[in-house]
Chains A and B, each alone.
Chain A
Amino acid sequence: MKVLVPIKRVIDFNVRVQLKRDNSGVQTDGVKMSVNPFDEIAVEEALRLREKGIATEVVAVSIGTADVQQQLRTALAMGADRAIQVDFNEETQPLHVARLLKAVVERESAELVILGKQAIDDDANQTGQMLAALLGWPQATFASAVGIEGGKATVTREVDAGLETLELDLPAVITTDLRLNEPRFVKMPDIMKAKKKPLDVVPAADLGVEAPPRLETLGFAAPEKRSGGRKVANVAELVEALKEKGLL
């Protein structure tokens, strides 16, 4: 079974994100970029399926300019077999990405797609669901456990009410939540090996995908900050302060 793992290049999660001075967007110059952490979990899950003998090949795919090759190399260093860069020059929006991914899934005859539940930049939480819709495949979002046997996937999902279990007929799309696994550490020799693994570049135009309507960005702003900082000396003062606010 071939597993496709879409990954997104995002500002590293440790970076304190800042707006440009003119509020025209987020500062990205000289900022560390990484694989979206949820996608890293997806790569790890795919690799574990291969190690269990369930997956035969793990293919990482990313959509964007040549810059995304850096993140694809990370996926290859983790252990993915191959990578595909869909060369795409516009801002990536989920529906467009889902249409491009659908074309890649079909070209590759993949039977399972695992990807992050959301990217930590736009926090949209849409791509996996949209891809599943377009393919007409089952979906299991926010996965915290995945079992695959006899053409079926049993997935535990982290939902607001607790843990939900679904059974899906393969092929399917699964999106990862934080607790699914802990991605492996990439070692130096793996980075060297990754340089020799195949990385194909496919122009987005070659995928024959119709561009969907796009959301227009009107602007960016910094959120209002909470101004806290008042401290009380003891429990009595705390109770007094709560009473003043009418909370007791």
Chain B
Amino acid sequence: MTNRILVIAQHDGERLDAATGKTVACARLIEGEVDVAVFGANAGGIADAAAKLAGVSRVLRIEREENSAPLAAVLAPQIAKLAENYTHVLAPSSTFGKDVLPRAAALAGAPQVSDIQRVIDARSFERPIYAGNVLTSVRVPEGVKVFGTVRLASFQAVAAEGSASIESVSLDAALPSHTRFVKLESAKSERPDLQGAKIVVSGGRGVGSKENFDIIFRFADKLGAAVGASRAAVDAGFVPNDMQVGQTGKIIAPDLYIACGISGAIQHVTGIKDAGTIVAINKDPDAPIFEIADIGLVGDLFAILPELEAAIDAAKSS
């Protein structure tokens, strides 16, 4: 039987999220046909973007007013209904996918493989457990639908070079009204998104205060980088939680990660271990971050960052 793989698109109501392209990349490693489902109230532009993802056969546009906010209780019955025509259903392992997919899997009576980081074969996958300290391989039994969330840091998004067909689909699924979206508060930022950025500059407890974090922002802007933080910095109130990088925050894989004043607790390292190059700047020469950093520099970040800014300017103009 040919595998038919359904990828649940992630978006913010306006734009397709890069997480979708990464999930499609994982789906393409499973032999079969890949479709993308876009749920929304007005999802035309998003469906167009999804149709460009390389390797996608069809984009399903499921538009109704109830789909205007990504409510798990509302989306799950629709996903379970769509799943009847598929062998696999994949979603990004973001807070969106983690919220909605287990609900859909349970409705379909299937187990879920969380945080797929490697496709072994169409039914077998590798995933991290114990905060990434151990890897396990699991297999979904024959005849059981495969539901899985995809660990985004492990896959590169497919290119936007495809031309899938787009179909509007109406689903016969009863939707509950017991869950209502009230609001989303997000710190709007002109900086690149933490999970998609090529360069990320992060600050830790060593930054010292909310005010001092300006030096991290300034340096990041110089590099066109996103800004992250360790859990210690978030817990100390320097920055909001959506900037947290680590096991309890975001798992990221930029080309370059610059950790400033971060000691390197295991839970933080879990979030960056797929980064291309890790640079650590810390005044404590024994900080554990140096054990995993590709390039370490011992010293005071408040002296080093301005110097580094100047040196980068000089290097760029030379």
Contacts and interface: CB of A to CB of B under 8 A. Distances in A.
A33 to B, nearest CB: 14
Interface string A17-38: 1010000001000000000000
B129 A123 contact: yes
A220 B103 contact: no
B259 to A, nearest CB: 11
Interface string A167-199: 111001000001100000000000000000000
B114 A235 contact: no
Contacts of A95: 105-106, 109-112
Contact of B106 (A120, A121, A133): A133
A173 to B, nearest CB: 10
B144 A213 contact: yes
B32 interface: no
Interface stretch (A107-115, A124-132, A201-209): A124-132
Interface string B91-115: 0001110111111111101111111
Contacts of B308: 235, 238-239
A21 B219 CA distance: 46
Given A137-B178, A139-B179, A26 B295 contact: no
A240 B234 CA distance: 32
B242 A161 contact: yes
A129 B99 contact: yes
B295 A230 contact: yes
A213 B296 contact: no
B136 A160 contact: no
B297 A228 contact: no
B294 interface: yes
Interface string A200-223: 000000000000111111111111
A214 B141 contact: yes
B133 to A, nearest CB: 5
Contacts of A158: 95, 241-242
Interface of B: 12, 71-73, 76, 94-96, 98-107, 109-115, 120, 124, 126, 128-141, 144, 176, 178-187, 195, 240-242, 248, 250, 255-256, 273, 276-280, 290-298, 304, 307-308, 311-312, 315-316
List the 3 closest A-B pairs by CB distance, nearest first.
Answer: A162-B186, A130-B106, A129-B102
Given A95-B112, A164-B181, A166-B179, 16 more contacts: A95-B111, A123-B131, A139-B72, A158-B242, A165-B185, A168-B180, A172-B178, A178-B248, A216-B138, A218-B137, A219-B137, A223-B128, A228-B280, A231-B296, A238-B308, A242-B277
